Structure 1
């Protein structure tokens, strides 16, 4: 006895494919935008904070010295070190691996989105990735333009989503192994990268008709991930096991003691649950956050089964960010790969839908276009700023002068190394200068530059978000 199956309704209206030549030209234009965004004047922005640490660690690691910055796994620092070694040890050389991974991430997001909604949506995802701002830290530059852990992390997270999207269609042992490699590499970049393993839940649900094979594949992926993570410690030799214990214990201790962040005008050692959205709004604006999230959620719903991996990743990352006691500004950047994929799917479906849906696409698109335009302008006009300019100002002081720092002292020491830097918030008019970075000073209790200037007769000299106060009665 035969049964008939009800034909499935198409999830999208038929769309005439672009001519191959036009598709190729469009892809080249999108790639050119990515190359520009990630590499234009790459060595100009100030090098501060974590970037200085990772540059030093990477340079030491390629020299066989593994004693620095053990609180994070080593993979991204190997990449920074290889850039340092291969391209001459300049700031551009140190940043080049991150920039190249940023460009490649656009290609990975294209591949993911093409599987869900076709090549047009894929190109749109790559373009969104390239043009939308992503600078959650203290430096207003896309994380792909800094030699930090974030860009390698996002690349491996995107690769894990790519592998999972392929597994959603057809589960093979090599695809499970590919997923394990990506998850292991993400974890070997930052321990928080392990959160991308949440996509396994979507795969187990998708392949629930063959639970034994699905569970076996998940075990294979987990085993490969652990092996990849541990393999990154092989260069440490006999010190490898201690280094692994150190990174885990340090992160646990860090979560226990918290980290002071300035959120919505208030300092918090353990910021509120909504902090990740607040950090995101600092560079996307609240209108941009609403537009991006609205499109992404619409996209994963419209994609139905094909959007299961992206939806699971977005939900898992959100749960991790809300539940984590630590809420540093850069943690929320793991949202961007699934957000970009979801938003591209939604925009593609909206513009090929009814006139009403095209109105929605236009409204959201205009918000994102404004953000993209500002990001492009920021890249095009990249110039020495902040710490580099402050360093030039401080180098005018006599060697050995005492400078009070309410800023990134490590960065000041790089740009003006012959001075003595101290802390403290009580006005000290004998100090040669006070340096104020507003993104850091707002987390220091009692740091009042106006009071300092009033007591010491200092007139502040402005450098974008920074000030240098030189007391008139300094001795």
Structure 2
């Protein structure tokens, strides 16, 4: 192959991924998980350390990275998501390179291009969360492992160890990839390579171990919404990772054909897909850990196997299948650019509520949220879109940053805390004709006793009401 083809094997997937993922980058407003990222990234380093000790240690290193990024690039929707776009672009390039080394130049090129057109690639490239970065580091660590096994040298093993440590710090569950790496090392020739691999892996694991220990203690609070896994969950995994049932099915079919074609060369990419899935599934039978997006880092390896299948036919035929995959995924591509919520038919319109409040608020107005302690982060949604122009948070006693949490503490005597407010903007989750009836406890009693509903607006997933004393 000419130098032009060697460049194309990584450059073409990178450019296509970049072009696809920046399209409509700010189309979907920040969703709840991204609001948590924004809240964490805009805190001080001391507050980030406090947060990591309370609830979100596993994501702490990513938050620290985003803290530095936001200081340089700002916190617009595009700025917050751009690191993920660049990470997925890098992952596509590395997928092409890894495919070339394991299955040939054409297979690598087609693998990278397939990865670029998957709706799941766009979904996690357009999200301010660590999954895209973990995907990049997973492929990078695997490329470096292949290099170290074929051209042993302490410099290459050190680079592999660094990538592995970064992977663990970014996404602990992605370290299940080590099982696939172990298979590759054990089947490689030479005992010296195996010992060098152990020496490279140990410091990475020791570095990540304290983070894993703290995160383990926070699991009950961090993952309280996750159920134990069921066998049926495996059948929906391809569609969940690809963000399209039909494209996910196509990817699995092509990957199976590619594995059969590659034979022994399919061992590493095949293990990199199957073993992390199997390990998380087995763990999820005992503890609630099964979240499909946690496994997004295996997708490039599935694309590599699929690329090997596509390489078995003339290049125009392989490209035709890629175009077909892209067209099949277009409805999901469009949907994920409208909202990141799931199902797509249930968006949460924080921005719409913020516009209503901004247009109608007066000096002295207050705002009340219900529920306050939920994963919807109603307060963060309004705070992001209104910043310092939002009404006074009448019931706020201690903010999330100060208490090292994602949620605030509210006033124990709501009636007293609301006493000075002539008007209250009530933001409630869900659709309610009478939002006051949806507020429970002393907070609801205080609002119903002192205020009447002047006007109600309903936006997707939320209701906002103006209450007058």
Structure 2 residue 76 is the aligned partner of structure 1 residue 76: no
CA deviation vs aligned residue, 1:258-296 (integer Å, no higher than 9, x gap): 5335xxxxxxx3242442542552564332222111111
Task: Number of aligned residue pairs: give it.
Answer: 399
Match of 2:419 in 1: none
Q: Distance in 1 between matches of 2:9 and 2:147?
A: 25
* Alignment gaps of 5+ in structure 1: 1-16, 136-140, 231-240, 262-268, 424-429, 438-455
Structure 2 residue 267 is the aligned partner of structure 1 residue 272: no
Deviation at 1:401, TM superposition (A): 4.7
CA deviation vs aligned residue, 1:333-377 (integer Å, no higher than 9, x gap): 122121121112211224469xxxx6xx69965652224434665
RMSD (CA atoms): 4.1
Deviation at 1:204, TM superposition (A): 3.1
Structure 2 residue 255 is the aligned partner of structure 1 residue 260: no
Seen in structure 2, the aligned counterparts of structure 1 residues 462 and 59 have a Cα distance that, compared at 3 Å, is closer
Q: Distance in 1 between matches of 2:89 and 2:353?
A: 31
Q: Distance in 2 between matches of 1:352 and 1:117?
A: 15
Seen in structure 2, the aligned counterparts of structure 1 residues 304 and 148 have a Cα distance that, compared at 3 Å, is same
Match of 2:326 in 1: 369
Q: Distance in 2 between matches of 1:172 and 1:22?
A: 28
Q: Distance in 1 between matches of 2:175 and 2:5?
A: 39
Match of 1:314 in 2: 273
Match of 2:354 in 1: 391
Q: Residue 114 of structure 1 contacts residue 121 of structure 1 at CA under 8 Å; is this kept in 2?
A: yes
Deviation at 1:179, TM superposition (A): 2.7
Tell me which of 126, 146, 152 is aligned to 2:112: 126
Deviation at 1:25, TM superposition (A): 7.0
Match of 2:295 in 1: 332
> TM-score by structure 2 length?
0.71
Seen in structure 2, the aligned counterparts of structure 1 residues 382 and 35 have a Cα distance that, compared at 3 Å, is farther
CA deviation vs aligned residue, 1:209-255 (integer Å, no higher than 9, x gap): 43x3133122112124235547xxxxxxxxxx6x664234224x469
> TM-score by structure 1 length?
0.70
Match of 2:308 in 1: 345
Q: Distance in 1 between matches of 2:6 and 2:97?
A: 14
Q: Residue 100 of structure 2 contacts residue 108 of structure 2 at CA under 8 Å; is this kept in 1?
A: yes
CA deviation vs aligned residue, 1:134-188 (integer Å, no higher than 9, x gap): 27xxxxx621222211111111111122123334545444433333222211111
Q: Residue 262 of structure 2 contacts residue 308 of structure 2 at CA under 8 Å; is this kept in 1?
A: yes
Q: Residue 141 of structure 2 contacts residue 160 of structure 2 at CA under 8 Å; is this kept in 1?
A: yes
Q: Distance in 2 between matches of 1:22 and 1:292?
A: 24
Q: Residue 296 of structure 1 contacts residue 340 of structure 1 at CA under 8 Å; is this kept in 2?
A: yes
Q: Distance in 1 between matches of 2:21 and 2:302?
A: 20
Match of 2:79 in 1: 93
Q: Residue 107 of structure 2 contacts residue 307 of structure 2 at CA under 8 Å; is this kept in 1?
A: yes
* Alignment gaps of 5+ in structure 2: 341-346, 397-406, 408-423, 432-452
Seen in structure 2, the aligned counterparts of structure 1 residues 409 and 36 have a Cα distance that, compared at 3 Å, is same
Q: Residue 87 of structure 2 contacts residue 125 of structure 2 at CA under 8 Å; is this kept in 1?
A: yes
Seen in structure 2, the aligned counterparts of structure 1 residues 460 and 127 have a Cα distance that, compared at 3 Å, is farther
Q: Distance in 1 between matches of 2:224 and 2:234?
A: 14
Higher relative contact order (CA 8 A, sep 6+): 2
Match of 2:214 in 1: 246
SS of residue matched to 1:147: coil
Q: Distance in 2 between matches of 1:49 and 1:433?
A: 15
Q: Residue 132 of structure 1 contacts residue 375 of structure 1 at CA under 8 Å; is this kept in 2?
A: no
